[in-house]
Amino acid sequence: MKLIPAIDLKNNKVVIPDSNNRSDYQEISIDKSPSSDPIQFIRYLLSIGNFSTIYLADLDSIDDFKENNILLIEILNNYKHIHFIIDNGVRKLSQFEYIDNYNFTQVIATETFEDYKKLYKISSNNYILSLDIKNKKILSKTDEYLYLKPKKTICMNLDNVGRRKGLNLENIEQCKKIFPKSKIIYSGGVRNQEDLDNLSAMMIDEVILLTYLLNKGVTQNQL
């Protein structure tokens, strides 16, 4: 099981969920991390475990896409040995992979992306699709994401993120049904080792999470 730390950024700080609404996300507190500065926070995460991959979500850019994202570039420059999975709210194909020569994979999130047909036509699979699910519904302006053939798909359970509510098995089955040939990455609600074991039994071997890691649940064989 590969554990991928999740970092949410807002106003250039690391934030954590306080409710289901992103506007209510709060700067991470001192009892969970020595610093809310993203560079320092990643350093802290790497002191917990030797992670090779980190997931980054820029909430400000998800709300209003930022073409010149100085913070993301600074993070990528500081941690060139880490592979990043980045959700920065791209809407258009023209915004896809606008950051060149860095070690990251672009997230195409159903909540924000619009150019599915164009992406399908260029036959690119250098992305990870995020099926953003809230209240049992996939957040998307259109169902054209069904045109895609992603190698990897994040089952993003927005109701569960940061809440330690447990796994949403119904959402997992929905994602598998939509993209049966795609490798599913799970995110949202992982509480303990039992949850991870259940995911493994469902043939899911990559999990995006944070609360579990900050509670020192990680072991070396999970990195």
Range of 162's domain?
2-222
User: How far is the CA of 41 from the CAs of 30, 66, 84, 131, in angstroms?
Assistant: 11, 22, 15, 27
Residues 6+ apart with CB under 8 A from 151: 125, 128, 182, 183
pLDDT tens-digit readout, 100-114: 667 899 999 999 999
**Which carries the bigger pLDDT value, residue 130 or residue 222?**
130
Nearest to 133 by CA among 168, 91, 166: 168
**Which carries the bigger pLDDT value, residue 29 or residue 223?**
29
Tracing tokens 């915004």 back to the chain, one arrives at 95
Per-residue pLDDT at 138? 96
Phi, psi (rounded to 5 degrees) for 195: -60, -40
Q: Band the pLDDT of 79: cuts 50, 70, 90.
A: very high
Calpha distance 67→83 (Å, rounded): 21
Strand, coil or helix: 113: coil
Nearest to 209 by CA among 178, 177, 167: 167
Q: Specify the number of domains making up the chain.
A: 1
CATH of residue 120: 3.20.20.70
Q: What is the pTM of this model?
A: 0.92
Contact at 8 Å (CB) between 14 and 34? Answer: no
Q: Band the pLDDT of 220: cuts 50, 70, 90.
A: very low
